[in-house]
């Protein structure tokens, strides 16, 4: 177990907190504050215990240059509303002006530094840049699980120079995902979707050593169906992953369930003509865009007795309403299931939100790439950098 913010004395200390404020923006406003809200428990704890709070985050991919539209300027207004106190935003994250602003801080003050990725040294984990960031504070708290798979200066480098502990969001992520992998309650069922097998080979390999059932939908199911000899029309398929699919089918045996019917469309379009057909009866010029109703019922039966469920990747092109029902039906079913339900990956997190059931899922992971890496069994550099209890 890693030390958390509870394990250090923060009163009157300058606490540098790596948060994940990589939020969507439109016309200078935050359009989805989920990631800001996720950081509130840690920030509020520090403020209640008399700390001086210095927040740092990346936003987008500026590639080491100052990009005006990727400034964090929209964040402090929303954060201040949620905290009920002012948040001071600085125009850089290192340098004399930043040092002067931090030197003036009193207990209960909150400062937000500018986008850490405006400096090319961030992504290269440059030790000089990391030391500059660390010099602003007495303690480092990492609460940015969404960036935990990145060995950057603000996630890993600063931990070399300061006492370093996990925030509450980081702790929650590690606890839920860690238990799912190390000691899940059985039956343990995984649901995998999304476009490609190739991006999830490591995940499939790791899960097959642990799960009692593996349900596969989304675009990646097409490659499995083709590997079984089914005609899939114009559907998305990875021909260079057919051997991997055959191998997986052999290894998994009866534990693996694939769609038995699918929703097909005459083109990739929200307004496309659509119909439900059994797998193997996909018309030559049509493409699979969702799992069908019989598949939904099959997957529900496979999930019915589960005690742990991990879901990564949607069941279809849920961005188009008429191809969203497979994903939404599974989401609604999991919301009512008496099990530890864990959802990871940006697309499926968005889908569960749209289905209106996110608050009835045991754990919705804030880290797409990080949760994928974790579930693959790979160590996360930013977690490894934190102090052990």
- For residue 310 the two structure tokens come to 């991990």
Distance CA 114, CA 70 (A): 10
For the CA atoms of 198, 202, 208, 210, what is the dihedral angle to 10 degrees?
Answer: -150
Spot the catalytic one: 196, 255, 307, 360. 196
Annotation marks residue 217 as catalytic: no
Catalytic status, residue 157:
no
Residue 316 has what DSSP assignment? S
DSSP lists the bridge partners of residue 173 as none
Q: Please pick, among 2, 14, 18, 35, the residue that the annotation labels catalytic.
A: 35
Those residues with Cβ within 8 angstroms of residue 233's Cβ, 6 or more apart along the chain or in another chain: 264, 282, 283, 284, 285, 286, 287, 288
The one catalytic residue among 280, 346, 368, 377: 346
* Cβ-count burial 354-367 (b if 16+ within 10 Å, e if not): bbebbeebebbbbb
Of 305, 353, 369, 377, catalytic: 369
Q: What is the distance between the alpha carbons of residues 6 and 198, in angstroms, rounded to a whole number? A: 40
Whole-angstrom distance, CA of residue 266 vs CA of residue 239: 21
Backbone angles phi, psi at 248, to 5 degrees: -65, -45
Residue 14, exposed/middle/buried by CB under 10 A (0-12, 13-18, 19+)? buried
β-strand partners of 166: 4, 142
* H helices present in 253-340, as ranges: 293-303, 325-335
Instruction: Check if 196 is active-site.
Output: yes
> Is 200 among the residues known to form the active site?
no
Annotated catalytic residues are 35, 196, 346, 369
């Amino acid at each position: 177990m890693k030390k958390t913010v509870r394990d250090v004395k923060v009163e009157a200390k300058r606490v540098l907190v790596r948060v994940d404020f990589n939020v969507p923006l439109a016309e200078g406003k935050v359009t989805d504050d989920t990631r800001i809200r996720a950081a509130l428990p840690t920030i509020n704890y520090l403020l209640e215990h008399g700390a001086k709070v210095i927040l740092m985050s990346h936003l987008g991919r500026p590639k080491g240059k100052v990009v005006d539209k990727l400034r964090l300027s929209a964040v402090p207004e929303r954060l201040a509303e949620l905290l009920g106190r002012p948040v001071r935003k600085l125009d850089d994250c290192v340098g004399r002006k930043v040092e002067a602003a931090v030197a003036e801080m009193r207990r209960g003050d909150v400062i937000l530094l500018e986008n850490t990725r405006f400096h090319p040294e961030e992504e290269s984990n440059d030790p000089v840049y990391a030391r500059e960031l660390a010099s602003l504070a007495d303690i480092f708290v990492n609460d940015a699980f969404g960036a935990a798979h990145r060995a950057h200066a603000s996630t890993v480098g600063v931990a070399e120079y300061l006492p370093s502990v996990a925030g509450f969001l980081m702790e929650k992520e590690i606890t839920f995902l860690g238990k799912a992998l190390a000691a899940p309650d059985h039956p343990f069922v995984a649901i995998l979707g999304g476009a490609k097998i190739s991006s999830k080979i490591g995940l499939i390999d790791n899960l097959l050593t642990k799960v009692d059932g593996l349900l596969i939908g989304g675009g990646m199911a097409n490659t499995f169906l083709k590997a079984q000899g089914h005609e899939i029309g114009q559907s998305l398929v990875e021909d260079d992953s057919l051997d991997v699919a055959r191998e997986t089918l052999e290894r998994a045996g009866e534990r693996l369930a694939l769609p038995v019917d699918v929703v097909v469309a005459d083109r990739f379009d929200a307004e496309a003509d659509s119909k439900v057909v059994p797998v193997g009866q996909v018309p030559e010029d049509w493409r699979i865009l969702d799992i069908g109703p019989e598949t939904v019922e099959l997957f529900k039966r496979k999930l019915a007795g589960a005690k742990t469920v991990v879901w990564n990747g949607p069941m279809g092109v849920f961005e188009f309403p008429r191809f969203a029902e497979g994903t939404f039906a599974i989401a609604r079913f999991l919301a009512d299931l008496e099990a530890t339900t864990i959802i990871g990956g940006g697309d499926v997190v968005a889908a569960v939100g749209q289905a209106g059931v996110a608050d009835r899922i045991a754990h919705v992971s804030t880290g797409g790439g990080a949760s994928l890496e974790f579930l693959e069994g790979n160590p996360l550099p930013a977690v490894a950098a934190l102090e052990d209890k």
